[in-house]
């Protein structure tokens, strides 16, 4: 299973691009804010492009569109940690690209994510 | 031309192959149209096979549907043969998510419907949207239970793929194993060969 650690010196940070025939299922998320300059808010995002479709109720055609969905938001105190393990993440599924944003870019905040595919 | 294999009630040993194999017999009924003269009412032995795996995926919003056309026409996903001696047996399975599939052949004509007037699949109806629908658990990606049979110039088979309410988006993944079968006609099959043959029905035989 892949795993990647990145500082949040820039935002967003891409952890995994879309695997077209599978969903990405994070198995562990660690946010290390020991060296962060302040309390930080981390958001796990799912970025994908929908296929063209039709609204069943109205018959209106809908074009393909880029979507960004927030799947998880974590607030981590200054000098603190947050660890979310597999049990708590078992229903978190990423349809497209797995990326992380932070409310303020901070090189002292480190995010580590492990994931598998489903 | 569409077959659904429910979970077996009992297992047999040795196991029976699910897909057609070299040496197997196939017969096409007389209901096949005159536009497909190379199979109508004919009997074949499979001379060779080749299995080709393929996946299709679409991310769709809740409450929306997409018609996936399996044929080679413009906008189709090109899974039909181009050779009149080819039969493509396609095993179709789905990865799990909040969606369902209803089949049409040709476009606008439901494969699965009941006999009472109006009892036809309709994704726009709260009461009929589940009628005739296959859900991912009916044919899992790892244990494909839907078999489709494609021939050159067969009318387009459409899979209306609908994402149900209760989520924001769903990722639809079709897992396909295309079992390419090369047919050799047998003019005078024996009674035993006829009895052992797999009969491929024309879609009109599944609607009465």
Q: Which of residues 128 through 187 in chain B touch A, CB cutoff 8 A?
A: 129, 162, 168-171, 173, 175
Chain B residues lying within 8 Å of A52, measured CB to CB: 66
Mean pLDDT of B92-103: 97
b or e along B156-173 (b: 16 or more beta carbons within 10 Å of the residue's beta carbon)?
Answer: bbbbbbbbbeeeebbbbb
Report the candidate in A23, A21, A31 with the shortest Cα–Cα distance to residue A78.
A31
Report the candidate in A47, A45, A42, A92 with the shortest Cα–Cα distance to residue A65.
A47
State which residue of chain A sits closest to B173, comparing Cα positions.
A21
d(CA B108, CA B116): 18
How would you class B192 by CB atoms within 10 Å of its CB: exposed for 0-12, middle for 13-18, buried for 19 or more?
A: exposed
d(CA B79, CA B70): 6
Chain A residues lying within 8 Å of B162, measured CB to CB: 56
Contact across the interface for A21 and B173, Cβ inside 8 Å: yes
**Banded model confidence at residue B5, pLDDT cuts 50, 70, 90:** confident
Average model confidence (pLDDT) across chain B: 93
What's this model's pTM, rounded to 2 decimal places? 0.93
Contact across the interface for B95 and A20, Cβ inside 8 Å: no
Chain A residues lying within 8 Å of B101, measured CB to CB: none
Distance from CA of A10 to the nearest CA of B (A): 28
**Banded model confidence at residue B16, pLDDT cuts 50, 70, 90:** low
State which residue of chain A sits closest to B61, comparing Cα positions.
A50
User: pLDDT tens digit string along B51-87?
Assistant: 999 999 999 999 999 999 999 999 999 999 999 999 9
User: pLDDT tens digit string along A15-74?
Assistant: 999 999 999 999 999 999 999 999 999 999 999 999 999 999 999 999 999 999 999 999
| B65: contact with A, CB 8 A cutoff | yes
Contact across the interface for B64 and A49, Cβ inside 8 Å: no
Distance from CA of B118 to the nearest CA of A (A): 17
d(CA A3, CA A29): 10
Mean pLDDT of B93-117: 94
User: pLDDT tens digit string along B143-161?
Assistant: 999 999 999 999 999 999 9
State which residue of chain A sits closest to B164, comparing Cα positions.
A56
Mean pLDDT of B167-173: 97
State which residue of chain A sits closest to B62, comparing Cα positions.
A55
d(CA B46, CA B175): 24
Distance from CA of B11 to the nearest CA of A (A): 29
Distance from CA of B89 to the nearest CA of A (A): 22
Contact across the interface for A57 and B95, Cβ inside 8 Å: no
């Amino acid at each position: 299973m892949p795993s990647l650690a990145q500082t949040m010196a820039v935002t967003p940070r891409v952890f995994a691009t879309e695997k077209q025939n599978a969903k990405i299922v994070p198995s562990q998320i660690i946010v290390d804010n020991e060296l962060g300059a302040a309390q930080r808010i981390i958001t796990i995002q799912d970025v994908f492009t929908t296929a063209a479709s039709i609204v069943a109720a109205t018959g209106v055609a809908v074009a393909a569109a880029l979507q960004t969905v927030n799947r998880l938001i974590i607030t981590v105190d200054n000098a603190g940690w947050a660890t979310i393990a597999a049990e708590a993440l078992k229903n978190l599924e990423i349809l497209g690209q797995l990326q992380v944003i932070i409310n303020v870019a901070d090189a002292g905040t480190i995010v580590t994510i492990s994931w598998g595919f489903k | 031309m569409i077959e659904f294999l429910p979970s077996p009630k009992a297992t047999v040993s040795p196991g029976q192959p699910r897909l057609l194999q070299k040496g197997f017999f196939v017969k096409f009924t007389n209901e096949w149209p005159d536009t497909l003269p190379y199979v109508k009412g004919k009997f074949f032995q499979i001379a060779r096979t080749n299995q080709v795996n393929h996946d299709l995926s679409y991310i769709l919003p809740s409450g929306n549907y997409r018609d996936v056309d399996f044929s080679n026409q413009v906008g189709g996903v090109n899974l039909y043969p181009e050779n009149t001696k080819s039969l493509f047996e396609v095993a179709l399975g789905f990865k799990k998510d909040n969606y369902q599939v209803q089949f049409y052949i040709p476009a606008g004509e439901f494969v699965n419907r009941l006999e009472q007037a109006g009892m036809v699949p309709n994704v726009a109806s709260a009461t009929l949207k589940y009628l005739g629908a296959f859900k991912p658990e009916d044919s899992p990606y790892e244990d494909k239970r839907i078999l489709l049979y494609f021939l050159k110039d067969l009318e387009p088979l459409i899979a209306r793929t609908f994402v149900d309410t209760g989520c924001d988006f769903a990722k639809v993944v079709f897992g396909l194993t295309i079992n390419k079968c090369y047919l050799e006609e047998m003019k005078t099959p024996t009674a035993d060969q006829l009895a052992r043959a797999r009969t491929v029905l024309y879609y009109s035989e599944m609607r009465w």
